[in-house]
Structure 1
């Protein structure tokens, strides 16, 4: 695997890479130019967009951010590009109009005070889920915490997970899946896609960890946004570093409960046709 060829250097995003060139268990490799993963795309420049559309043939963007993040950040530049389809597929069980949490599960009219409180809540994100931090990483506590977040994506939004994978499977041109940092939510969807393609467990974990190579500029980018700044400033930077044991522990948990990622997908409505389409897109 040549990591140098997988990174896509852009002015407005720092954690974008191609999922091509990864080894499979049967000795093959994944194809370049089909599936990209990345961080927040809000700051893409005109040259970035020109490269993504022209050189990389980008046609679909899978935005895994919460409704609150999208509302707070506003429409990104790719939403104004007719040739790109944006698929907003949050991985959170969002119960309300304003926030990531179930703040207004009822449809009843709100009082003036409740309305004001809801609008105040709309100025925040649920940082615990948006940018999971690990705290201590020398014991099993951190691993269990991360797996709890990652498992919640599958538990709360299997519909979004399968919809994202089907965009990757059936799209025309390149597809880019992203969240805020391109690490946790994006890491889970990428790991499932690569599992369907038969990529080796070692390569899936290595791809997850690769975000750590761009961690400093990535956190710098996120700190420039009021949406994420307060949470990032309150945590040590190293608490956001992706570590191999986190993805390994998550995949091990799927092995233990479902017989592996493919077992979870099968139980959730993923079909043999879906799997064949995704493998056709991702494999040489």
Structure 2
């Protein structure tokens, strides 16, 4: 993209599916928070991408702290879908495994949020949509992984897309430090907050399979059944 975009921005389009299709380009994007775009950048970004819906996974506090500088608002439908607070405290020595355990816990404490975000993508009339949180790594990573797996994207491609965030993490946290509230917050983050290794997503997907029978089976327990999956794939797979 030639215009200024949020950090960690990418189009999910082009990823293959197991049945020989591919995710429709220009339908679903992911990124870190767009609040650092200035008014002109935000307007150009919206016009070039054609984004109609912004799925904001940040919590109320994060939104309140940046509301005055957030310019990617005009002409969009904004869905605020905050995640629940996890009480899980994994003690595994490997930070990548701890991160995967956190992701698996999100399916429990934030099941409705994740399912609502995936369901939003079914309505092709409202696409393209942008999914983001603050870093575009953890909450966004889980929603996107569930969405891609539901579309039939092979696990290796889901993992590769997730791991692309590694390229942006230093810039993301440096940018976040521009916000007074975030300097101390970043310093207090656990080790795994600064990683986006392929093994974390691989382990997460394995946990979903082990505990729930896979993404499709988990979605079914949330009321997102076979007809919904068909509609999702019709909207986003070509």
Question: How many aligned positions are there?
Answer: 236
Let me know the Cα RMSD of the aligned residues: 2.6
Q: Which residue of 1 aligns with 2:65?
A: 72
Match status 1:257 vs 2:220: no
Larger radius of gyration: 1
Structure 1 residues 237 and 260: CA distance shift in structure 2, 3 A: closer
How far apart are residue 273 of structure 1 and its match?
Answer: 2.9
CA contact (8 A) 2:95 2:191 kept: no
How far apart are residue 149 of structure 1 and its match?
Answer: 1.7
How far apart are residue 9 of structure 1 and its match?
Answer: 5.9
Q: Which residue of 1 aligns with 2:102?
A: 149
Structure 1 residues 274 and 214: CA distance shift in structure 2, 3 A: same
1-side partners of 2:188 and 2:61: how far apart?
A: 20
- Give the gaps of 5 or more residues in structure 2: none
How far apart are residue 236 of structure 1 and its match?
Answer: 8.9
2-side partners of 1:48 and 1:278: how far apart?
A: 31
Structure 1 residues 237 and 161: CA distance shift in structure 2, 3 A: closer
2-side partners of 1:35 and 1:223: how far apart?
A: 28
Q: Which residue of 1 aligns with 2:18?
A: 25
CA contact (8 A) 2:6 2:34 kept: yes
Displaced runs of 4 or more, over 6 A: none
- Give the gaps of 5 or more residues in structure 1: 1-7, 95-100, 102-127
How far apart are residue 234 of structure 1 and its match?
Answer: 4.8
Q: Which residue of 1 aligns with 2:198?
A: 244
How far apart are residue 237 of structure 1 and its match?
Answer: 8.2
How far apart are residue 27 of structure 1 and its match?
Answer: 2.3
Structure 1 residues 269 and 239: CA distance shift in structure 2, 3 A: closer
Q: Which residue of 2 aligns with 1:229?
A: 183
CA contact (8 A) 2:43 2:72 kept: no
- Provide, for residues 178-218 of structure 1, a one-character-per-residue CA deviation record: whole Å limited to 9, x for no partner: 00000010000000110111101110000000011122222
- 1:36-47 equivalent positions in 2, closer than 5 A: 36-47=29-40
Q: Which residue of 2 aligns with 1:203?
A: 157
The two structures have a TM-score, normalised by structure 2, of 0.89
CA contact (8 A) 1:183 1:208 kept: yes
CA contact (8 A) 1:73 1:227 kept: no
How far apart are residue 156 of structure 1 and its match?
Answer: 1.2
